[in-house]
């Protein structure tokens, strides 16, 4: 059968394979709310401009409202032969109100229509992700405040480096997720222009009012160039780039949770709610949620990659290739929302094991830098020399299999006779972290101050409610 919406010059209908490759209704039906909202705004504007009558606009809008209810109720019959959400809705409108429905497509095209719908959908998705980030940051910050004085090993190369506090470590992620919110907000600001009225590619000869439709749909302004309006997918790539970076951050925290929850590390205990057992090994508690969050990053970054390659080299203006933008972005943003929620749950539930953390913080000569700093401060030794002296002391400790603070003063003095027992005050991990008071350092007082600052900032940056258009 010929396509009833555009088949005028065709004598034959599409091959079954053509229908398979061409149809997007299987995934773009998600855009139904946005599509109805865009059509409503367009119909109203056409009437205001005298392009269609007020009666026709009213009929169209009533029909669209019926369609919205049908889709929400699950009674709408989607047809693959009608390709996509736009034609499915328009065809149903014709069934409902007759030939008047055909007036809705005056001065527009599916090209500006889909670009409008997708911008609206992504705008809403960004608002939801912003809310999820806000929740996660809230949990991380509260845990940071609680664990501000809790010492743990800080690592470089995953080797014990210097003691830090758990609160400081968690606040590092708050910084990352704060930047993620900023990236999403930037993407949102740039995408919030209306392509509606660009029509197929060249604009239209009808006296439309693009500002009116832009305002009704909550856009800041109409886009400036009709060709760019229908061929631009920067807003999708930019959102996926922000999503990809956020997913990478999540994957790093997820990996730490995986490591921390092993019996070898035993830094945190995860809750039953976000772990699974093994059907064969009764002792096991597997960090599946963390592992899946770690893995989702691959999928999300993959979506960005897929879309960039779809867009690469496309000539202006619209090309059907661009229909391939939707599945990756739907999938990726959904995966990110789920990851953020799972991470928020894990962070809220996890129980840091203070005694194990403290013990590990003291292992691996983590206060060697404190010893070197003491030599610099108290003996006015150049840092390079202090580093060397400390290295010799660590070698002795290693030989004796003792932590630094257990060495006899005589052992220390054998390397550097001017060392006094004053030095033992800096060799404890608590002293070490307390002394790191430089701006941005790990001292518990700093961490408390920073956590409180973040709580105030979070209270001031409540996410905007997603409008669900």
Q: Minimum Å distance from CB 53 to ligand ARG? A: 28
Identify whether the C-beta of residue 176 lies closer than 8 Å to the C-beta of residue 77.
Answer: no
Q: Minimum Å distance from CB 103 to ligand ARG? A: 20
- From CA 218, how far away is CA 192, in angstroms rounded? 8
- From CA 59, how far away is CA 184, in angstroms rounded? 38
Q: Minimum Å distance from CB 327 to ligand ARG? A: 10
Q: Taken in order 226, 195, 40, 331, is the CA torsion positive or negative?
A: positive
Kindly tell me which of 22 and 49 has the beta carbon lying closer to ligand ARG: 22
Q: Minimum Å distance from CB 114 to ligand ARG? A: 4
| Rg of the chain taking only CA atoms, in angstroms | 30
Has 278 been annotated as catalytic?
Answer: yes
Kindly tell me which of 320 and 460 has the beta carbon lying closer to ligand ARG: 320
> How many C-alpha atoms does 248 have within 13 Å on its Cβ side?
12
Q: Minimum Å distance from CB 346 to ligand ARG? A: 37
Catalytically annotated residue among 4, 75, 105, 157: 157
Q: Minimum Å distance from CB 330 to ligand ARG? A: 12
Q: Where does this chain bind ligand ARG (CB under 6 A)? A: 24, 28, 84, 110-111, 114, 318, 320, 322-323
Has 157 been annotated as catalytic?
Answer: yes
Strand pairing report for 351-352 and 268-269: antiparallel
Kindly tell me which of 194 and 323 has the beta carbon lying closer to ligand ARG: 323
Q: Minimum Å distance from CB 82 to ligand ARG? A: 11
- From CA 449, how far away is CA 444, in angstroms rounded? 9
Kindly tell me which of 157 and 312 has the beta carbon lying closer to ligand ARG: 312
Kindly tell me which of 173 and 318 has the beta carbon lying closer to ligand ARG: 318
Q: Which residues make Cβ contacts (< 8 Å) with residue 124, sequence separation at least 6? A: 466, 467, 468, 469
Kindly tell me which of 260 and 330 has the beta carbon lying closer to ligand ARG: 330
Kindly tell me which of 322 and 336 has the beta carbon lying closer to ligand ARG: 322
Kindly tell me which of 119 and 296 has the beta carbon lying closer to ligand ARG: 119
292: which 2 tokens? 């899946």
Q: Minimum Å distance from CB 324 to ligand ARG? A: 8
The residues annotated as belonging to the active site are 157, 278
């Amino acid at each position: 059968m010929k396509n009833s919406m555009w088949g005028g010059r065709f004598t034959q209908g599409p091959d079954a394979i053509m229908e398979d490759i061409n149809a997007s209704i299987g995934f773009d039906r998600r855009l139904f709310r946005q599509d109805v909202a865009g059509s409503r705004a367009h119909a109203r504007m056409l009437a205001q401009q005298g392009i269609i009558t007020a009666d026709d606009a009213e009929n169209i809008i009533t029909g669209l409202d019926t369609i919205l209810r049908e889709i929400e109720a699950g009674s709408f019959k989607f047809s693959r032969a009608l390709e996509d959400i736009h034609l499915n809705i328009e065809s149903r409108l014709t069934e409902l109100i007759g030939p008047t429905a055909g007036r809705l497509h005056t001065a527009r095209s599916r090209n500006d229509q889909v670009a409008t719908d997708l911008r609206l959908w992504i705008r809403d998705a960004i608002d939801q992700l912003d809310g999820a980030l806000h929740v996660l940051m809230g949990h991380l910050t509260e845990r940071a405040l609680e664990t501000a004085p809790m010492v743990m090993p800080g690592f470089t190369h995953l080797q014990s480096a210097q003691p830090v506090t758990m609160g400081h470590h968690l606040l590092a992620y708050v910084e990352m997720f704060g930047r993620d919110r900023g990236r999403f907000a930037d993407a949102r600001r740039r995408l919030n222009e209306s392509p509606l009225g660009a029509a197929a590619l060249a604009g239209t000869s009808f006296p439309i009012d693009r500002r009116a439709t832009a305002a009704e749909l909550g856009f800041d302004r109409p886009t400036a160039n009709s060709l760019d309006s229908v061929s631009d997918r920067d807003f999708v790539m930019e959102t996926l780039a922000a999503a990809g970076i956020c997913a990478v951050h999540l994957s790093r925290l997820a990996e730490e949770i995986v490591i921390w929850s092993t019996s070898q590390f035993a830094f945190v205990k995860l809750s039953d709610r976000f772990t699974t057992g093994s059907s064969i090994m009764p002792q096991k508690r597997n960090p599946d949620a963390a592992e899946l969050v770690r893995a989702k990053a691959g999928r999300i970054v993959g979506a960005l990659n897929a879309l960039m390659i779809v867009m690469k080299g496309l000539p202006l203006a619209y090309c059907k290739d661009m229909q391939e933008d939707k599945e990756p972005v739907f999938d990726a943003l959904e995966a990110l929302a789920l990851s953020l929620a799972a991470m928020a749950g894990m962070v809220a539930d996890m129980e840091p094991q203070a005694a194990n953390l403290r013990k590990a913080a003291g292992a691996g000569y983590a206060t060697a830098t404190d010893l070197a700093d003491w030599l610099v401060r108290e003996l006015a030794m150049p840092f390079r020399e202090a580093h060397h002296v400390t290295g010799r002391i660590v070698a002795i400790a290693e030989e004796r299999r003792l932590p630094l603070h257990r060495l006899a003063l005589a052992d220390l003095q054998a390397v550097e006779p001017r060392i006094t027992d004053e030095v033992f005050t800096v060799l404890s991990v608590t002293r070490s972290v307390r002394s790191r008071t430089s701006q941005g350092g790990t001292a518990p007082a700093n961490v408390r101050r920073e956590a409180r600052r973040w709580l105030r900032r979070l209270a001031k940056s409540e996410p905007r409610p997603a409008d669900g258009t």
